[in-house]
A and B are shown apart, each in its own frame.
Chain A
């Protein structure tokens, strides 16, 4: 009962289970502005979807979730289009470069090792930093989640870069080079790690671009939307791994979840959001680390996936 056959995945799934998974990830997407690919793909593999189909179909559902999420945040005035487009240009360039990097790594062998280590280190570093920083900010209480107060060395350096411009929505003045370079960096990492990159992009926006948290979430979703449109079309065309039925059930759950997520996001303070995202990132990191350390049940795996 409630089962549907997925023609590309070649398996049947419980509709309610997939709908529930979509809803859960959609809420996270709406709250934190992350695509949720780093969470959804392993969950789909766990319910029997082949890894390549899980990753590609997830991108498809993120298109729906981030459309809904972006629109919800746009209505709340939380999308910095200027910043988003610059990050997107950098992200596309970085993604293309990252695909070439991964090709070279695969030829050298041990690419999987580098990918997983990068994953664990990035998640561990980003999660720990955000967690500690948000905890300190919450303890001070009075400090709102606004920009920096002191002129740090970092602020002085980025202040001297050429082509400074105002990002009105974010309320900051930065060089155009910053989002372009950082977008490229995230694009490279996202391509290597095989994910949308939202969970790297959000900390980059908060800590390196110094954008206010509420604008970060909307802008990140805007950027993820376009990245996932590209990935869905490319995966459909090159690898035939997008399962439309799976994506449709997921996105019905996730678009609904994203709406609730956006509302929850509005009720939470910037530091509360940060500490929740940091906890989530750390949980995923610990899960990945355990997968690496514990002896697997079966010593063979199907090809593909992260």
Chain B
């Protein structure tokens, strides 16, 4: 009896192995690679360029997203005190917002109208989608404004960006073309693990995806100093004072007059 039923999972396995749903207008699956896949933050790091490239169907568009883990942030809200003076008035807690969100698209007009924004949002991408997803502890009337201000702040830091039309193509053969996205990794990027998602799109639908990992880590002097600052903070403090005093004495030795006395 038991033996008779074993053919069912076996049949499903064999069928699934040979059967692939045919995607509309997709003659090739998206392939992607990123170079480098490890970014080391050394003493001279000032941001870097990450190249994401691969192949897609000839008629298709591409979205590339580099995103960080979801984080919870507490920010200061600016408001008017006494109806006159702008200053920080209270905290705003933001949850479910990625630490980094760098979106590149091959379609230049992807963000030119509200319709384009809605299309992007439906796919689960873009700033409008982020605004809906993030949790902001604020009165309902202020929520939208705070979400917009949060996006502005992140863009100012270079950690959120949307670059429509900044993926280039080159035709490879009659059915496929290669794409290249030069993703700018800002100097402010926190170290950690990031996801690189590549979406192949046709007629406003995602027809294939590829995912890669990107690691950002410190090395050399920055790694040594931050581990000293966080793991041996008191020693770090004394060390910082000592070096400052020595530098001050050295400067006095080099540039000081060495003469005493003399008031005005």
Contact = CB atoms under 8 A, between A and B. Distances in A.
Interface of A: 3-8, 10-12, 48, 60-61, 63-69, 71-72, 75-78, 109-110, 112-113, 116-117, 145, 212-215, 229, 232-238, 240, 242, 244-245, 247-248, 251-252, 255-256, 258-259, 263, 266, 269-270, 291-303
B156 interface: yes
Given A10-B188, A75-B259, A5 B222 contact: yes
Interface stretch (B63-71, B205-213, B249-257): B249-257
Identify the 9 closest CB pairs spanning chains A and B, nearest first. Answer: A67-B248, A236-B237, A255-B251, A64-B244, A7-B222, A3-B46, A63-B244, A233-B237, A12-B187
B220 to A, nearest CB: 9
A258 B44 CA distance: 28
A4 B241 CA distance: 21
Nearest to A8: B229
B190 A10 contact: yes
B43 A229 contact: no
A10 B238 CA distance: 22
A266 B260 CA distance: 12
Interface in B157-196: 187-188, 190
Given A214-B263, A236-B229, A293-B85, A300 B255 contact: no
Given A214-B264, A300-B153, A302-B76, A247 B146 contact: no
A contacts with B: majority SS: helix
Contacts of B221: 7, 245
B150 A300 contact: yes
Contacts of A303: 74-76, 91
Contacts of B45: 3, 5, 12
Given A76-B262, A77-B262, A234-B237, 11 more contacts: A60-B244, A64-B244, A64-B247, A64-B248, A68-B251, A76-B263, A116-B87, A232-B244, A236-B234, A245-B222, A258-B251
Interface residues of B, number: 68
Contacts of A252: 247, 251
Contacts of B81: 110, 113
B123 interface: no
Interface string B7-38: 00000000000000000000000000000000
22 contacts: A4-B43, A7-B225, A12-B187, A63-B248, A64-B248, A67-B244, A67-B245, A75-B256, A75-B257, A77-B262, A110-B89, A212-B264, A232-B237, A233-B234, A240-B230, A244-B243, A245-B225, A259-B255, A293-B84, A293-B85, A293-B86, A300-B75
A14 to B, nearest CB: 9
Interface string B109-132: 000000000000000000000000
B241 A298 contact: no
Contact of B255 (A63, A65, A256): A256
A210 B259 CA distance: 26
B42 interface: yes
